[in-house]
Amino acid sequence: MSGGGRRGWLRLADVMVATLLGFFVFAPLAVLVLLSLTEEWGRAFRGGLTLRWLLEVPNAFGAAIAHSVLIAGVTMAATLLMSAMVAYGVLTRRVHGPILVDTLVMTPLTIPYIVLGLALILAFKAPPFRLHGTVWLLLIGHLMIAMPLGYRTTQAVMEATDLSLVEAARSLGASEWTAVRRVILPLIAPGLVAASLLAFVTSLQNYSLSFMIAPERYKLAPLEIFTYVFAETGAYSNYNLAAAVSLCMMLVLLSALGVVRWLTGQSWHENINV
């Protein structure tokens, strides 16, 4: 085969690979965008663009979104506080047994969400701790699954920071709290923001754990998405609305993760939860 022919084949292979990848990347996103912007699904290709479905999202999913954001927000704050405390304690050797701490904090990563959910139900459905069916259990569950990611990021950024600066500030007369607040905190702030966003995203997108332990009638966005997909009666089946809310959620998740990457320079694969 001549050199020119080989190049031609390679060019063709390039196009095929690019098409395949492009399909994998854009097809799901494109169909969501298309659906959210078309008037009626049956006439998707006949024009009739509308913002109606996107504007309908707050109406149809308002309560669910508010709940999801509330849970994710509280999870985020708690994760931030706890992972900063644990990481600082471990790194300044104030806490014994760093391996024990790491293992314990990371354990939820190895337990399937469904199993963790069932375990939480079984442990807290009867006295002494009766939490099953309350929002508290939902919050606790979300905190447990957000901690591994938050902790890993916080610990990484603290490790990269010279904590002996605290000692330096203290030798100049500052109290430890002041030293941490004025010297360390500004240095690790971007990492902490990243850790918080990861916790937020983990909580916001979770389906399986929420499905198990969310109180009855406490609507959450991921669970509600399907309301309009599998309504067999047809009266409520509304692909456009389901696509619109999915699209909103994807945009929130992707932009949050984009900010994380920008802040930490971490590669994406360090931020995923199995």
Pick out residues in 13-32 that bind another protein (CB under 8 A). Answer: 13-14, 17-18, 20-22, 24-29, 31-32
- At its nearest, how many Å lie between another protein and the CB of residue 271? 8
- Residue 74 is encoded by which pair of tokens? 């509280």
- Unique residue bearing structure tokens 């599998």: 230
Least CB distance to another protein at residue 71 (A): 15
- 225: contact with another protein by CB under 8 A: yes
Residues 53-72 binding another protein (CB under 8 A) are none
Q: What are the DSSP E strand ranges found in 109-218?
A: none
Give CA–CA dist 227/59, Å, rounded.
14
Examine residue 211 and tell whether it contacts another protein (CB under 8 A). Answer: yes
Q: Which is nearer to another protein, 21 or 51 (CB)?
A: 21
Identify the residue whose tokens are 């950024």. 157
User: What are the structure tokens assigned to 169, written together?
Assistant: 């500030």
Cβ atoms of 59 and 129 within 8 Å: the answer is: no
Residue 270 CA to chain centroid, in angstroms? 13
* Cβ–Cβ < 8 Å for 266, 62: no
Among the listed ranges 53-61, 62-70, 94-102, 188-196, the one in contact with another protein (CB under 8 A) is 94-102
User: Is 246 strand, coil or helix?
Assistant: helix
Closest contact distance (angstroms) between CB of 59 and another protein is: 20
The smaller minimum CB distance to another protein, of residues 29 and 55, is found at: 29
- Cβ proximity to another protein: between 191 and 222 the closer is 222
Q: Does 81 bind another protein (CB under 8 A)?
A: no
Question: In 3-state terms, what secondary structure has residue 38?
Answer: strand
CA atoms 12, 14, 20, 22: torsion sign: negative
Residue labelled with tokens 């990243």: 194
Give the contacts of 274 (CB within 8 A, at least 6 positions apart): 109
CB of 107 or CB of 189, closer to another protein: 107
| In the complex, least distance from residue 88 CB atom to another protein, rounded to whole angstroms | 9
CB of 21 to another protein, least distance (A): 5
Tokens, residue 62: 């308002």
Judged by CB, which is closer to another protein: 51, or 268? 268
Other CB atoms within a 10 A radius of the CB of residue 62 amount to: 11
Q: Would you give the binding string for another protein spanning residues 165-204, x where CB under 8 A is met?
A: -xx--x-----x----------------------------
How many residues touch another protein (CB under 8 A)? 89
**Which residues from 226-245 bind another protein, rule CB under 8 A?**
226, 229, 239, 242-243
Q: Among residue numbers 105 through 164, which ones bind another protein (CB under 8 A)?
A: 105, 107-116, 118-124, 140-141, 143-144, 147, 159, 163-164
Rounded CA separation 86/98 (Å): 10
